[in-house]
Amino acid sequence: MKKIYLLPIFFSFLSFSQNKTEAEVKINEGVALHDSGKYDEALAKYDEALNLDKDNSLALTEKAMTLESVKRYDEAIEVSKQVLKLYPNEDNRTLYVTYANSLDHSNKADQALKIYDEGLKKYPDYYHLYFNKGITLVNAKENEKAIASFQQATKLNPNHSSSFNALAILGQSNRIASILAFSRYLVIDNKSGRAKGNFDTLIKLINKGVSQTGDKSVSVSIDSTTLEKVNKKKKGENDFSSTDMVLSMASALEYDDKNKDKTEVQKFISKFETLCRSMAETQKNQKGYYWEFLAPYFIEMEKKNLIEPFAYTIFRPSQNPDVIQYNKVHPDKIEEFQNWSKNYWK
């Protein structure tokens, strides 16, 4: 009987398995270092992993991301290409973001957009690709296309604050649309430094065109474009001209004597409820992202009597004493609103 010697093969397999396990440990250490901002140390760990397990896809993918973070864009591009060549059938959605971002940072916007689109063909539900594509389009001064990209990102992930932030900033020529985007942003993020700036801008938009000119006189200014749209029989997409006028009238009423003792939050609640009711009344047959995706969220919020906890949530950046007090005294109302909001798009 012929003897078969399997021992060398066994030890070879065991050595390979050990190398792979050790490589995974190095990769995890590298990720932790990257998250701590220790990018050079992270890159060293990924290289150690690759010495143990040549062409490890995760090590290469993480290395490309870290290279992008330290602005070594040419290297990040080459590593990204390597991964896509070696592992075309693996889940490379995050790699496409790294690859395209590195091209964009290298002033190769056209190439970056091609890579975003290539990634989106494979991963059409990955919101990060739409968001980052939007950033590239903004830098290329293609704002309309950028807005469409950010809108798609929010549809895929209604909790992505950065996409709502971009929409709010880019869409300020449409006051109501921008108010809705800023408001949704502040539901998600009302504690960061960016939240304070966005809150201040939201309040300015709410009160735009309305000012007190004397002890009893109030000035209301409505731009001619809004007036033209109100009088048009056929409405275009995302036309909130009627609601825009109603909001201006509601803002003027806050100077009435009966409202003089109300807090800023209480005045906001009154105006925002009026805004939502106006949208509900004019919602029929309206078209466009803001009417079809965002407006229904706020209309239902008002119908469920949740504007009050919503207001005290998004007013957190103001640090007003009454806002702090409300959040302490009424955690049940805040929680009810947050639970409704979290489940709205599920």
C-beta atoms surrounding 322 within 10 Å: 14
What are the backbone dihedrals phi and psi of residue 221, each rounded to the nearest 5 degrees, phi first? -115, 120
Q: What is the pLDDT of residue 232?
A: 65
Least confident of 81-85, 175-179, 214-218: 214-218
- What the block records as the tokens of 246 is 């109603």
pLDDT band at 261 (very low <50, low <70, confident <90, very high): confident
Confidence of residue 18 (pLDDT cuts 50, 70, 90): low
State residue 100's pLDDT score.
Answer: 98
- Stretch 59-86: mean pLDDT: 97
Answer whether residue 48 is part of any domain: yes
Residue 52 lies in a domain: yes
CA distance 338 to 14: 52
Any idea what the CATH number is for the domain that residue 41 is in?
Answer: 1.25.40.10
Q: According to DSSP H, which parts of the chain are helical?
A: 7-35, 39-52, 57-69, 73-86, 93-105, 109-122, 127-139, 143-156, 161-170, 175-188, 193-206, 224-231, 241-253, 264-282, 289, 295-303, 307-314, 321-329, 331-343
Of the candidate ranges 133-137, 186-190, 234-238, the one whose mean pLDDT is the lowest:
234-238
**Confidence at 2, pLDDT banded by 50, 70, 90:** very low
**Rg over CA atoms, the chain:** 27
Whole-angstrom distance, CA of residue 178 vs CA of residue 174:
6
Which residue has 């150690």 as its token pair? 48
Q: Is the pLDDT of residue 341 over 60?
A: yes
Q: What pLDDT does residue 318 have? A: 95
Question: What pLDDT does residue 11 have?
Answer: 43
pLDDT of residue 228: 64
Report if residue 329 sits inside a domain. Answer: yes
- pLDDT of res. 236: 85
**Beta strand 210-212 with 218-220: parallel, antiparallel or unpaired?**
antiparallel
226 found inside a domain? yes
* pLDDT for res 288: 97
- Show which of 90, 116, 151 is a domain's final residue: 90
* Residue 194 domain-assigned (yes or no): no
The mean pLDDT value for 62-70 works out to 97
What is the total count of domains within the chain?
A: 2
What is the per-residue pLDDT for 176? 96
Q: Which residue has the higher pLDDT, 302 or 235?
A: 302
Tokens, residue 67: 């290279």
The whole-number average pLDDT for the span 312-334 is 96
Residue 13 has pLDDT above 60, yes or no: no
pLDDT of residue 234: 65
User: For 126-140, 243-257, 302-316, which range has the lowest pLDDT when averaged over its residues?
Assistant: 243-257
Least confident of 16-25, 65-74, 189-198, 303-312: 16-25
Average pLDDT over residues 182-202: 96
pLDDT above 90: residue 212: no
Confidence of residue 205 (pLDDT cuts 50, 70, 90): very high
Q: Is residue 192 part of a domain?
A: no
Mean pLDDT score across all residues of the chain: 90
- Out of 75, 90, 105, pick the residue that ends a domain: 90
Q: What is the dihedral of CA 223, 303, 167, 99, to 10 degrees?
A: -170
> How confident is the model over 267-279, as a mean pLDDT?
96
Coil, helix or strand for 318? helix
Burial class (CB in 10 A: 0-12, 13-18, 19+), 57: middle
- Tell me how far apart the alpha carbons of residues 228 and 224 are, in angstroms, rounded to a whole number: 6
Q: Is residue 133 part of a domain?
A: no
Within-domain flag for 63: yes
Least confident among 45-54, 151-160, 210-219, 268-277: 210-219
Residue at a domain's end among 90, 115, 134: 90
Closest C-alpha to 218, from 229, 227, 209: 209
Residues 28-51: pLDDT tens digits?
Answer: 999 999 999 999 999 999 999 999
Indicate the pTM of the whole model.
0.89
Parent domain of 329: 205-211+218-343
Q: Residue 250: what pLDDT? A: 86
Residue 10 above 60 pLDDT?
A: no
Q: Give 218-255 pLDDT, tens digit per residue.
A: 777 767 676 566 666 667 899 999 999 999 888 888 77
